[in-house]
Structure 1
Amino acid sequence: MDSALDLPAKVALLTGASMFTLRPEPAIGLPELRLSDGPTGVRGLTFSGGPAVTLFPNATLLASAWNTGTAYEVGRMLAEEASAQGIHVVLGPTINLHRSPLGGRLFEAYSEDPLLSGALAAAYVRGLQDHGVGACLKHLVANESETERHTVDSVVDEATLREVYLLPFEIAVADADAWSIMAAYNRVNGTPATEQRHVLTEIVKGEWGYRGLVVSDWWATTSTAPSANAGLDLVMPGPVGPWGDRLVDAVKAGEVDEAVIDDHLGRLLLLAERVSTPRPAREVPAPDSPARRAQLTRLAAEGMTVLTNDGVLPLRRETTVALVGRHAVDTVDMGGGSAQVNPPYQVSVAEGLTELLGDAVTVVDGVEVRERPVPAGPEFAVHPSTGEPGMRVTLHAADGSLLGERDLAATSTMIGIDDDLPEAPRAVRLSARLPRGGRMLVGGIGVGRWEVRAGGRTGRFELGLTSGDVGEAVLRPPGDTLLVDVEPGALLEAEVTLEPGGRGRYGLVARPAPEDVTEAVGRAVAAARAADVAVVVVGLTEEQETEAVDKTTLRLPGAQDDLVRAVAAAARRTVVVVNAGTPVLMPWLEQVDAVLWAGLPGQEGGHAVAAALLGDLEPAGRLVTTFPAADGASPAWSVTPVDGRLEYAEGPFIGYRGHEAGRAPAPAFWFGHGLGYSTWDYSDAAVLDDNGHQVAVTVTNTGGRTSREVVQVYFRPADERQPVRLVGWGAATLEPGQSARVEVTGDPRLRRRWESGNWVELPPDGELLLARGLGDVRATLRIGSA
C-alpha cells in the first residue's frame, strides 16, 4: 500500500467521492464502495426519488418482539435489498438509547435498555454481514436528542458513559464484529464526537480491539488534524471536506503522522475486502412481492403490543366496527428524515381491516393531526399527461432554459436537487391534475419563492429555513398553502425560484380542506353508536418523530384526545390503536376497553394491524420504552441544552431504572410490559449457579390461545447506588395448557461497574426479579448475602 500510493492519493481516499459513494483506486484494486441509509429500508444513493424499495417496520417496533432471531432476519432481508441495488454498507443499526421520551429520533433506535439494544444490534449486524453487506453502528456516542444536534455538548460521567451509552456499541462489536461505526454530530464532555480520541482510539480501537472503520456522520467533521489523530477514518460526504489538501499539509507539517493515515486507509481497505467477498446468488423478492408482503406483515404484527384489554381483543369476525381516525385512513408507516424511503405502496388500517371484514367496517376520517403541509397523496394528484398518480417536474437555469425533466410516481411526490444536471437549477416547475373537485388546500413545499396556481387563484409566498440546521431544507422543508375551489381534473401548477446554489426537496400540496372539529367528532360518534365496537386509530406523525427535531410534549397532536373521549362515551366497546413509534399520553385510558400499540408498521402496516386486531397474528410485543404517566414524569426529560450543554444528570438511572429507584413517578406502562392474547403462570423459579448468573422458571399458558411469553430477568443489586438492570431474557411459545422450563443466562457485562479507571465485578448480592415487565414481577430470588 505504501509503495503503490503517494500521500495525496492515500488522503484522497479518506473523504467520500459523493453523497453516498467512496472513491475507487485502480492502482490498488480498490473498487467504488456504495453506502445507503438503512434504518427502515435501503433507500439507495439518492435522498428522494430513486427506486421503489421495501419499507420495513421501524426499529422500535421490531425491537418490541424481544427476539434476536427477528433482528437477524431483518438484517438478512436488508442485505438482500442492498445487494439488489449494489449497496455495500447499510448505515444502521441506530443504537442510541431512549434517554428522554421527547427524543425526536427514538423511533429509529431499539430501546431504553443497553443490553436489549446491544443484543438486538448484534443479531441485526450478523444478519447483514453473514450475507456480505456491512453494517454501520450509529451514532457514537451520547446522541439521544436532536435539539441543537450539531453543537450540543452531552455531559456524561465516565461510569455512565461506559456502563450505559457505550455498552450497546461494545456488545455489537464484541458479539458481531460490526464492520463500521459512525461518529456522531454532538460533542461529548466538550469534545466533538469526531475528535473524541478517548472514545474512538483509547476505548473502541484500544480496549475493544476494534479493527473496523470509523466514519463521520454526514458533515459532522469540522477539523483536520484533531479528527484524524482522534481515530476518525473516513469523512463523509464528499467530494470536498475538511481533510483533502489540508490533511496532506498537516502530515507534511508534522501535525499528523503518516502512520495515522496508513491506519485509516488500512481500515478502509479491510472494509472493501469484507464487502467484496462473494456470496451465493439468491433471487431477491421484489418489494411488492407476495413473499415480502407476508414477511413484513408478520414482522410488524409480532412487535405490536397489547397494553390493556378487558377481553374485547381479539375482535370476532362477526363484529361490526366503526373505524375512526385520520391515522386509520392515512396510517403513518415511517418516521421522518433519513429514515424515509420510497416504498411501492403503503397499506392503511382502513384498507387492511376492510379487506378482512368487508361491509362490517364503517370508516370515518377523524380530526386533523398535522400542522405542516404534506406532499400530495396518490388520490389527490395525478400526472397532467398520463393521469397516473404523480406529478411532472422540470428544472430550469436562470435564463429559463431547461436543465432536466422528471416524472414522479405517487410514491415519490418530493424531488431532490441532484448533481447530475449541467448546472445548478434556479427554478423548479411542478404540475399535476386534481382528480377530486371541491374545496382544496393546494401549495408547495421547499425553500424558495413560490407561485402556485389552481382554480383561478394564484398564491405567492416565500419559504425559508427556520433553524441553523444545514439539513432542514432536505429533512424538514417548509411549506405553505392556499384554499381554492376546483372542478375535478383541474390543473395545479407551481414554480419555485431558488437562491443561487439552493438545495433541498420540493413537492406539491393537494388535499381536501380541513373539516370542522365538531363536525368530525360528531360523525365519529354517530358511527360508534351504530357499531358493536369502535376502533379509534390515533398517533403521531413525521412532525414529531423525525430527524433534526425533538418533541415538546407526549400529548397527541390536534384534538385526538377529545375524539377518543367522545367515541368512548358513545360506543358499546372502544379499542384504541396507537400509531406511533414512541410513548404518548393516554388521558382517556380508563374510558376505553383495550389499547394496542402499533408502532410505525411499514408498508404492510394496515394488514398487520388488522391481523393483530383479529388475532390472525398475535401482537406478542413487549415495550422497549417506559411510558410516562405525564409530561415531565420520567427520570430524564429535557432535551434542550442550557448554554450549549445537555447534562445527563440522571446518570445510569434512565428509563425503568430511574422509575424503579423512585427517581420519577410510577409510569403508565413499564418497560417490558405486554399482555399478548393469553395468560401465564410462573412456578418453580430457581437459581442454577452460585453467583446468580443462571435462573430457570416454569411457565404455563393458562389462557385459551397459543401465545408467546417473554421471561425477563432483572438484577437489583443490594447496593442502592446501583440501579436495577435487565440481565437477560428467554421466551417460549406454547399452546393452551402447555408448560415449558425457560432458562436464562445473564450477561456478565451487566454485573460490573466502572470504578477508579477499571471494571469491577459487582458483588453477587441482591435480588433477581423474574418478570413480565417491572410492573408484573412474578418471582423474586435472593442471591449472595442479601
Structure 2
Amino acid sequence: MPTDDIAPFVKSLDLPAKVRLLTGATAFTLAPEESIGLGELRFSDGPTGVRGLKFSGGRVVSLFPNATLLASAWDEDTAYEVGRLLAEEAMAQQIHVVLGPTINLHRSPLGGRLFEAYSEDPLLTGRLAAAYVRGLQESGIAACLKHLVANESETDRNTVDSVVDEKTLRELYLLPFEMALDAWTMMAAYNDVNGVAATEQHHVINEIVKDTWGYRGLVMSDWFATKTAAPAANGGLDLVMPGPAGPWGDALVAAVQSGEVDEAVIDDHLDRLLLLAKRVGALGAERSWPSSLPAPDSGVRRDQLTRLAATGITVLKNDADVLPLSPTSSVALIGRHAVETIDMGGGSAQVNPPYQVSVATGLGELLGDLTVVDGVEVRTRPVPARDGFLTDPATGDPGIRVVLYDAAGQELEQRFCAQARTMVGMDDDFPESATTAVLSGNIAVSGEVELGVLGVGDWKVAVASASAALSYSLEASGSGFGEEVLTPPLRTDRFTVAAGDLFTATVTLTTPMGLFGLIGRAASRETVDVIDEAVRAAAGADVAVVVVGLTEEQETESVDKSTLHLPGAQDALVEAVAGAARRTIVVVNAATPVIMPWLSRVDAVLWAGLPGQEGGHAIAAALLGTIEPAGRLVTTFPAADAATPAWSVTPVDGKLPYTEGTFIGYRGHFAGRAAEPAFWLGHGLGYGKWEYTDVRLITGDAPAVTATVTNVGAHPSREIVQVYLRPVEPDEPIRLVGWTAVNVAPGESARVVVQTDSRLWRRWDTNSGSWSRLADGGEFLVARGLGDIRATVS
C-alpha cells in the first residue's frame, strides 16, 4: 500500500494517469505529472560511465575502468569512491538514476557481459556493490542493482530459461542483491527463471525481494524485456522501460477494469515510483544541481581514473622480480593492444570519452628508450573509423558528416559525428520522415586502405579517386534481439586512395532503429611480417613488453564467447617474442580470463582489465611501480577451455540448467569438480613479499581470524588477507567469508583482523523452506588466494 506522505498523490490520479506513469516517456526518461509536482526523471546507463540520454553520439563523459578491474582492488573504499565520482558525472548531466551496478556472478567464463559484473563470488560482489550504492546515493542519485536474476550469459538472452534450484538461487545469485538492498531501484532481467519471465517473477520479486526482505524501492524492467501486462504487473514489476510504447498502457488499464489486476497493485507500483522521485529530488520542489564539477578531461579526473585503474591491475607472475621496470631500461613495446588499447567493453557499457590513452602513449611519457611495434590483427569485425582516419568535410575535425533527407529528396538535417557513427531511432532525435542518410568523411592517409560501412539498409559507396561506386544491401542476421544496434551488419572493401579523398556512403533506411557508421583503417599486413618485425625489436631491447587481449567482439552485451583463447595470432606473437627477448613481460588487456599457453616461457604477466580512458597511464604506472598493481583476481582463471565447473552458455531446448549448483568458480575447482586452474580467485602478487605468523581464531556467532603479516620484500605493498571457510558438510562448498587489506612498508609488520560474514554461515534448507546454520567443525583457510594457503585453523 502507498506510504502516508505519497498516498494523497496516488489517490488524486485516475487509473489511466497512474498507468501512464508506469511506462517510460522516452528511451531514458519518465513522464512528468504537473498536477502532483512530479518532474521528469532521467536515467542513464552506468557500468563504466554515465553516458546520458543517448545510446550513441552523446555528450563527452568520463570513461571509468571496468567493473572487474575496479573489483580487483578488493576494497569497499574504492567502490564507494567510484559511486561518488559517478554521482558527480550524473549530476553534471542532471541524471537522477544510474543503471548500475551489475551484480550478476561470473558463472561461466564464456559470459560476454562479465566485464560489467564484479566477480564469481557473491560476498565480494555484495560488499563492493553495497559500497558503490552508498557512494552514489549519498549525493541523491539512485543506483540500480541489475539484472534480477540468474542472468549470467547472453546467448538467446531474451528467451533463455535459467533453471536454478532454490538453494543455489538463494545462497549465490540473490545474495548480492540482498547485501546491497539499500539501492533505490533494481532491474529485472531479460531471461526466464525456472520457466517464468524475470519481469513476471512473483516468487523472486514479490515473495523474496519485497515481502521477505522488505524492499521499498522500485523494480524496473530491462529495456524491451517486458512481455505482458497483467502477469508482469502482478509479478511485482513496477516500471516498464523504455517508452512511450510498451505492453502496459491501455492493456494494463483494461486488465484492472476486468479484475485481472487489482488497482491496489497499480497503487503500490506508483507509490514506489513516487518514492524514487522523492529520493532523487523530482517530486515537489525541484532539486538544485551543482554548478561546478570536474570535467571529464580535467587533471582531477586524470589522477582519479589513473589511480583507480592501476591499483586494480594484478601481477599474475613475476619471476626474478623483473617487475617493476627500471625507467632506464630499453623497452620494445609490442602488440595491437599497445597502440590501440581496449578501454571499455561493448553494448550499453560504451560511452563517449574525451580521449583514450594507449599503452604506447603512457609508456612513451615515462621511458627514454622505447620502440613501439604494432602487433597482429585482433579483430574479425572492423570498427568505425577512429584516431582521425576520417575527418568531417565541413570542419576538418576527426569524425564524419551525416546529412538526412526525406522521401522527396529534401534535406532535413546535418550533424557532425565524432565517433564516425550515429544512431537512428530509440533515443535519437532523427526526424521520422528521414528515409535516406548520406555519411561522408575525408580520408587522412594515402595508399591502400580498408573502407566500409555498418548498419542495416541499402548502400551506395563511393571514393573520390575510385572509378566506380559500389552498391549492396546489408541485412540483420536475425541472430539476436537488438542486433541492429549492438552488432549491426557491415561490409568493407580495399581501395587505393590519396590523402584528402572524400569517402561517401548513402544508405536508404530500411529499419526504424539501428546504428550506422563509416569504417576506415589502414590495410592489414601479413602476420608473418608483423611477427618478424616484433622479434627484431625484442632482440634489440633489454625488455620486451607484449600487450595482448580481447576486444568488444568478445566482451560485449548480446554475445557470449566460444573460447578463452586469445583471438588471432596473438599467442604465436608472444611465443616468438619470448624466444628472442632477454626478458618478456606480457600485459593482458582483457576483463575476463584468457588461456595462456606461453605462461611458462615469459618472465612476468600483468592482468590489466579494461582500464578506462587513462588506461595507458595506469598500465605504465603499474609497470614502473609508481603505483603498485596490488590487485587480486575476482574470477578463477581456468587452465584450458571447458576446464571449469560451469562452461556451456548455450541453451538446449530453451533451457540453461545451472547443474553445478553452488559449486561455481573456485568452489567447484577446490572440490575437485574441475581441473586445477591456472590462477585461483584472490591470486595477485603485488610488489611485496609476505610472511604470515600468529594466526588465531576468535570464536562467536560470526567468528573472526587474526594474523600478523610481515612485508619481507623491497617495496611498500598492500596485502589482502583472505579467509575461506571449508564446511564440515560434504555437500557444502568452500566459500570466501571475509577479507581485510593492509598497507605495510618493507620490513614492517601489521596485525590484521578478518571478520567473517554471518550470511556465509547459513544454508538454505529446501525441505523446510528456511535458513539453517552450518554445522560447527569446519576449517578456516587463511590465504593469499586458494593457490597460496598460509594457515589453517579450526
- Do both share a fold (TM > 0.5)? yes
Amino acid of the structure 2 residue aligned with 1:750:
L
Distance 1:229 1:337 in 2: 31
Distance 2:701 2:29 in 1: 50
Aligned to 2:278: 273
Give the superposition deviation at 1:490: 1.1
1:500-515 equivalences under 5 Å are 501-515=511-525
Aligned to 1:453: 462
Distance 1:48 1:250 in 2: 36
Residues 390-437 of structure 1 show CA distances to partners (whole Å, capped at 9, x for unaligned) of 11111122222222211122x464444454344242221111111111
Residue pair 2:94, 2:289 contacting (<8 A) in 1 also:
no
Equivalent pairs counted in the alignment come to: 776
Aligned to 1:758: 770
Residue pair 2:113, 2:556 contacting (<8 A) in 1 also:
yes
Residues 598-619 of structure 1 show CA distances to partners (whole Å, capped at 9, x for unaligned) of 0000000000000000001000
2:267 counterpart (251, 259, 262): 262
SS in 1 for 2:322: coil
Distance 1:669 1:213 in 2: 39
Does residue 386 (structure 1) correspond to residue 391 (structure 2)? The answer is no
SS in 1 for 2:434: coil
Aligned to 1:186: 191
Distance 1:369 1:273 in 2: 48
Residue pair 1:48, 1:412 contacting (<8 A) in 2 also:
no
Aligned to 1:773: 785
Residue pair 2:54, 2:428 contacting (<8 A) in 1 also:
no
SS in 2 for 1:372: coil
Residues 603-646 of structure 1 show CA distances to partners (whole Å, capped at 9, x for unaligned) of 00000000000001000000000000000000000000000000
Aligned to 2:381: 372
Give the superposition deviation at 1:445: 1.1
Does residue 638 (structure 1) correspond to residue 643 (structure 2)? The answer is no
Distance 1:759 1:353 in 2: 53
Aligned to 1:331: 341
Give the superposition deviation at 1:114: 0.3
Does residue 73 (structure 1) correspond to residue 81 (structure 2)? The answer is yes
CA 1:388 to 1:282, structure 2 compared with 1: closer, same or farther past 3 Å?
closer
Amino acid of the structure 1 residue aligned with 2:226:
T
2:252 counterpart (247, 252, 273): 247
Aligned to 1:355: 365
Residue pair 2:424, 2:512 contacting (<8 A) in 1 also:
no
Distance 2:561 2:97 in 1: 30
Residue pair 1:324, 1:537 contacting (<8 A) in 2 also:
yes
Give the superposition deviation at 1:280: 8.5
Distance 2:248 2:759 in 1: 38
Amino acid of the structure 1 residue aligned with 2:688:
S
Residue pair 1:329, 1:349 contacting (<8 A) in 2 also:
yes
SS in 2 for 1:181: strand
1:437-586 equivalences under 5 Å are 437-454=446-463, 455-456=465-466, 457-499=468-510, 501-586=511-596
| Structure 1 residue ranges without an equivalent (≥5) | none
TM-score for the superposition, normalised by structure 2: 0.97
CA 1:403 to 1:30, structure 2 compared with 1: closer, same or farther past 3 Å?
same
Aligned to 2:414: 405
CA 1:424 to 1:700, structure 2 compared with 1: closer, same or farther past 3 Å?
farther
TM-score for the superposition, normalised by structure 1: 0.97
Distance 1:318 1:509 in 2: 40
Give the superposition deviation at 1:691: 5.2
SS in 2 for 1:563: helix
SS in 2 for 1:432: strand
Residue pair 1:309, 1:593 contacting (<8 A) in 2 also:
yes
Does residue 709 (structure 1) correspond to residue 719 (structure 2)? The answer is yes
Aligned to 2:6: none
Give the superposition deviation at 1:467: 2.9
SS in 2 for 1:345: coil
Residue pair 1:461, 1:480 contacting (<8 A) in 2 also:
no
Does residue 727 (structure 1) correspond to residue 737 (structure 2)? The answer is yes
1:431 counterpart (428, 440, 444): 440
Residues 496-521 of structure 1 show CA distances to partners (whole Å, capped at 9, x for unaligned) of 1111x432111111100010000000
Aligned to 2:155: 147
Aligned to 2:5: none
Residue pair 2:407, 2:433 contacting (<8 A) in 1 also:
no
2:66 counterpart (58, 61, 64): 58
Distance 2:554 2:397 in 1: 31
Residues 535-591 of structure 1 show CA distances to partners (whole Å, capped at 9, x for unaligned) of 000000000000000000000000000000000000000000000000000000011
Residue pair 2:692, 2:707 contacting (<8 A) in 1 also:
yes
SS in 1 for 2:491: strand
CA 1:407 to 1:119, structure 2 compared with 1: closer, same or farther past 3 Å?
same
1:89-104 equivalences under 5 Å are 89-104=97-112
1:644-683 equivalences under 5 Å are 644-683=654-693
Give the superposition deviation at 1:476: 1.4
Residue pair 2:531, 2:573 contacting (<8 A) in 1 also:
yes
Distance 1:588 1:459 in 2: 44
Residue pair 1:342, 1:412 contacting (<8 A) in 2 also:
no
Distance 2:521 2:430 in 1: 31
Aligned to 2:129: 121
Residues 716-735 of structure 1 show CA distances to partners (whole Å, capped at 9, x for unaligned) of 00111000000010010011
CA 1:328 to 1:645, structure 2 compared with 1: closer, same or farther past 3 Å?
same
Amino acid of the structure 2 residue aligned with 1:474:
V
| Structure 2 residue ranges without an equivalent (≥5) | 1-8
CA 1:743 to 1:526, structure 2 compared with 1: closer, same or farther past 3 Å?
same
Does residue 28 (structure 1) correspond to residue 40 (structure 2)? The answer is no
Q: RMSD over aligned Cα, in angstroms?
A: 1.2
Amino acid of the structure 1 residue aligned with 2:55:
F
Residue pair 2:10, 2:270 contacting (<8 A) in 1 also:
no
Give the superposition deviation at 1:207: 0.4
Distance 2:505 2:388 in 1: 19
Aligned to 1:624: 634
Distance 1:205 1:403 in 2: 49
Q: Which moved more, 1:694-703 or 1:470-479?
A: 470-479
Distance 2:331 2:462 in 1: 41
Amino acid of the structure 1 residue aligned with 2:260:
E
SS in 2 for 1:695: strand
Distance 2:556 2:504 in 1: 29
Residues 458-491 of structure 1 show CA distances to partners (whole Å, capped at 9, x for unaligned) of 3323221123433111111121101000111111
Q: Which moved more, 1:568-577 or 1:690-699?
A: 690-699
Residue pair 1:132, 1:279 contacting (<8 A) in 2 also:
no
Aligned to 2:231: 226
CA 1:589 to 1:419, structure 2 compared with 1: closer, same or farther past 3 Å?
closer
Distance 1:622 1:424 in 2: 53
Distance 2:421 2:293 in 1: 26
SS in 2 for 1:66: coil
CA 1:421 to 1:563, structure 2 compared with 1: closer, same or farther past 3 Å?
closer
1:163-242 equivalences under 5 Å are 163-173=171-181, 177-242=182-247
Amino acid of the structure 1 residue aligned with 2:257:
K
Give % identity.
66
Distance 2:168 2:598 in 1: 37
CA 1:700 to 1:419, structure 2 compared with 1: closer, same or farther past 3 Å?
closer
